[in-house]
Amino acid sequence: MASSLTWERAGSRLQLYLKLCKPRVVSLIVFTAVIGMFLAAPGMVQLKILLFATSGIALVAGAAAAVNCLVEQKIDAVMARTHARPLPRGELTSLQTLVFSGVLGGTGLLLLYRFINPLTMWLTLATFVGYAVVYTVILKPMTPQNIVIGGASGAMPPVLGWAAVTGEISYDALLLFLIIFAWTPPHFWSLALYRKHEYAKAGLPMLPVTHGDKFTRLHVLLYTLILVAVSLLPFATKMSGWPYLLSACALGGIYLYYAVRIFVDYSDRLAQRAFRYSIVYLSALFAALLLDHWS
C-alpha cells in the first residue's frame, strides 16, 4: 500500500515537471527539427543522429519552456490560459524549476556535443538564450513587436536538425527557418486577438493591446500573405517539386481565407479557429516537404 502511494506521488510529481516543459509546444519544435534532419539527408537519417539529436533538442526546448514558466509565473497567474500551471498554483517552487531546467538543458546540450556535433550544440544553446532570455525577459514585456523579433528563436528547430545531419547550415535550411519565421506573427496574433483582455490585465504590450484590433487584424492578413509567398520558395529554388507546390497552395489558400475573414468580419471564434488551423498548417506543410523529398 505504501509502495503504491509512493509511486502515485512520484507520477504526480513527474506530471508537474512535464507541464513545465509545455509538451505540445515542444512536440511541434521536435517535429520540425526531425523534418529538417530528413530533408538534409540524401537517404535515411542515421539512427544515432536521429535518436540523440531529437533527444538533445527536445530536452533543451523543454528547459527553455521551464525558464519561461519561471519568469512569467506572476503573469501566468492572472491569465485564464495559464493560471493552472504548476508555479502559479504553488505546486512547484522557483528553485525546483530552476534546478530542473538546468539539469534538463545541460543534459540536452551534452548529448548534442558528445554524440552529434559542436555546431548543433552551440546553435541550440543560442536558441535557448533567444527564447528564454531575449524573448521572455527582454522583448515580451517591452515591445509589441516581441513576436516578430523573438520569432527567430522559434524558427530555429529545422536549422538545428539540418546542422545535426550535415554539420553546416545551407540555404535550404534557411528557407525552412524563413517559413516558420513568417508563420509566427499571424499564428500568435490570432491568439492575442481573442486573449486581448488577458494580456492587458497581465500588462503585456501585445499588438492588440497597444495598437488595437483593426491594426492587428490587418497585420495578420499582411503576414499571412508574406507566409504564403515564402512557402513557395522551396519550389522556386528547386528544393521541392510539384507535389509540395500543390500542397503549399492548398494549405496557404485555406490560411489566407481565415486571414481575410479575420480582417473583414472578425469574431473571437474565428480567431480561435485560425489559431488552431495555423498549427495544422505548419505541421502539414513540413510533412508535405518531407513526402515530396521522398517522392
CATH of the domain at 40: 1.10.357.140
Based on the domain organization, do 194 and 136 belong to the same domain? no
- DSSP annotation of 204 reads -
Q: At what angle do helices 157-166 and 118-129 cross, to 10 degrees?
A: 170
Domain that holds residue 93: 7-169
pLDDT of residue 80: 82
pLDDT of residue 143: 92
Based on the domain organization, do 181 and 295 belong to the same domain? yes
Q: By mean pLDDT, which of 12-16, 30-34, 97-101, 287-291 is the weakest?
A: 12-16
Q: How far is CA 228 from CA 33, 68, 178, 244, in A?
A: 21, 30, 11, 13
* Cell numbers given for 109: 546540450
Reference 65, options 79, 76, 77, 54; nearest CA is: 76
Number of structural domains found in the chain = 2
Angstrom distance (rounded) from CA 137 to CA 140: 7
Based on the domain organization, do 190 and 86 belong to the same domain? no
Confidence of residue 43 (pLDDT cuts 50, 70, 90): confident
DSSP track, 221-253 = HHHHHHHHHHHTHHHHTTSS-HHHHHHHHHHHH
Residue 5 has pLDDT above 60, yes or no: no
- Residue at a domain's end among 169, 201, 217: 169
Residue 40 has pLDDT above 60, yes or no: yes
- Residue at a domain's end among 169, 191, 218: 169
Confidence of residue 27 (pLDDT cuts 50, 70, 90): very high
What mean pLDDT value characterizes the chain?
94
Question: From the CA atom positions of the chain, what is the Rg in Å?
Answer: 20
- Asked whether residue 1 is assigned to any structural domain, the reply reads no
pTM over 0.75: yes
Q: How far is CA 50 from CA 160, 180, 244, 287, 295, in A?
A: 12, 21, 24, 17, 21
Place of cell 546540450: 109
Angstrom distance (rounded) from CA 145 to CA 148: 5
Q: What are phi and psi of 237, to 5 degrees?
A: -95, 5
Sign of dihedral through CA atoms 261, 265, 266, 270?
negative
- Asked whether residue 2 is assigned to any structural domain, the reply reads no
Overall average pLDDT of the 261-273 stretch? 97
Place of cell 473583414: 264
* Letter string b/e over residues 152-178, b meaning 16 or more CB atoms within 10 A of that residue's CB: bbbbbbbbbbbbbbbeeeeebbbbbbb
- Asked whether residue 286 is assigned to any structural domain, the reply reads yes
Based on the domain organization, do 69 and 113 belong to the same domain? yes
- Asked whether residue 245 is assigned to any structural domain, the reply reads yes
- DSSP annotation of 137 reads I
Based on the domain organization, do 164 and 186 belong to the same domain? no
In the chain, pLDDT over 70 holds for what percent of residues?
Answer: 96
What's the pLDDT tens digit per position in 213-260? Answer: 999 999 999 999 999 999 999 999 999 999 999 999 999 999 999 999
Based on the domain organization, do 178 and 62 belong to the same domain? no
Q: By mean pLDDT, which of 55-59, 159-163, 198-202, 286-290 is the weakest?
A: 198-202
- Residue at a domain's end among 169, 185, 201: 169
Q: By mean pLDDT, which of 52-56, 134-138, 214-218 is the weakest?
A: 134-138
pLDDT of residue 247: 98
* Cell numbers given for 204: 503585456
* Letter string b/e over residues 243-269, b meaning 16 or more CB atoms within 10 A of that residue's CB: bbbebbeebbeebeebbebbbeebeee
Based on the domain organization, do 145 and 79 belong to the same domain? yes
